[in-house]
Amino acid sequence: MYDIVIIGAGIIGSAVAYNLGKYEGNFLVLEKENDVAMRTSKANSAIIHGGYDCAVNSLKAKLNVAGNRLYPALAKELNFPFEPIGSLVLAFDQEEVQQLEFLLDQGRQNGVLNLSIIDHDQIMKLEPHVNINVIKALYAPSAGIICPYEATLALAQSAAVNQVVFRFDYAVTEITKVADHFLINNEIETRYIINAAGIYSDQIAALIGDQRYTVIPRKGEYLLLDKTEELFHHVLFQTPTKMGKGVLITPTIDHNTLVGPTAVDISDKEDESVSAEGIQLIKTTALKTSDKLNFRKVITEFSGLRAVCGDDFIIEPSVADNHFINLIGIASPGLASAPAIGEYVMELLSKNRFQLVKKAHYQTGRAKPIRITELSLEQYDQLIKTQPAYGKIVCRCEVVSEQEIVNAVTGLLPAVSVDGVKRRTRAGMGRCQSGFCSVRTMELIARHQHRSMTDINKSTNHSPIVYQPTKGETDHED
């Protein structure tokens, strides 16, 4: 019998798991995919929003501002990158300037610190490559950027170190109430359930008879530019609309430039395709912000789905059973709010008679993963002398060593796919997009996890890269 089962291992489910790891109890996370951060949490704008765009007195406003303030200490504790680079909302006419004034007032009411409207000359000093027709901008120095899948993994690994169990490749298809507990798939017993299933959260809620919610997947397509195009130093927004914050331009933690997203409501919750129309829309719209973008430097396109259900976050016990807590419609600013959402769920559990008892031996922190690109020549030389595999470069574009990949496939919550390795090490994320290193990565996964090459997937299960050998043995050989 588990005390609490969390359904979903994205940034929200992992933030809840991280907080539960501080308390006594038997906790389990169920994830239908083969890794953490497999859906919305791996494909988004990677921005920690300031909180000025949320309606006053909304749950989004409360949790966005709180989450923003929690990130610096959390990133330091769990050793994932966070950079408070600030954001600018650009206005190009007087109507948009009025919108900036509204956002300034709204942000101040929400508790966002140090917001200001700056003029043309101040903007050009901060961002000399933006459109010279810009009039004013709303400057939010508290906004920042992270790597969302690395942050998710850090939260999940901290939870796992503190005895929270993760079970992957497990789709929840049935939930039954039996006496004082739930029975999941006629197999797993638990006293409480936290529904953090993202775009599928409405369907999970419906399994206990709570059919009040309809989650609409909102697709956002993106373009990622090569690292040679480091023209911008802040998150650059256009004036927002009811569909979102518009097409943005932002540097990433790893020094690429990200442009997007589109915002199109769709019906297929598995549709993560990109389209020629979407890409063209991004290019056309982004030019309003800057005509210095060189789209010949695009190295990949991708899309992600946001879970839209009304105008605010829905975080509440189900009307069907108050031991079942729904987290539904956690679209933007869900990433920015995640640490605060984790704490907020602890409050809801306490209010619903779950006794939170602090662990006597809680393990804080997380060891920083070794990245050879972050070492000095002297440090790297010493490392190779003791562990020579750090000197064998597998990914040339991102300079990732064999040992870094081995660490990713043998460590806590290991990568089991090529994309899982990519998210942990950046092997395959560079200019050639795995053209050179994917086979070597597959070989390392197969060797260290004792699997066949034909069993290695690109991303999700049932996405094989090779089907059968053309010659030789059927299983991987060293």
Tokens of 176: 């039954």
Tokens of 434: 């795995």
Q: Given the residues 49, 234, 323, 476, select the one marked as catalytic.
A: 49
Three-class SS of 124-144: HHHCCCCCCCCCEEEEECCCE
Distance CA 357, CA 360 (A): 9
Distance CA 271, CA 264 (A): 12
Let me know if 187 is exposed, middle or buried by CB neighbors in 10 A (0-12, 13-18, 19+): exposed
Distance CA 407, CA 311 (A): 42
Q: Is-catalytic flag, 255?
A: no
Secondary structure (3-state) at 83 = strand
237 alpha carbon, distance to own chain's centre: 19
Distance CA 172, CA 177 (A): 14
Question: What residue type is 440 in one-letter code?
Answer: R
Task: Give ∠ CA 427-428-434 in degrees, rounded to 5.
Answer: 140
Strands 257-260 and 324-328: unpaired
Task: Give ∠ CA 404-406-411 in degrees, rounded to 5.
Answer: 95
Any residues with CB less than 8 A from the CB of 35 and at least 6 apart, and which?
9, 168, 413, 415, 416, 417, 420, 423
Distance CA 65, CA 102 (A): 17
Residue 117's beta-bridge partner residues?
138
Query: CA separation (Å) from 76 to 71, 142, 341, 365, 433?
Result: 8, 16, 19, 8, 30
- Return the active site residues: 49
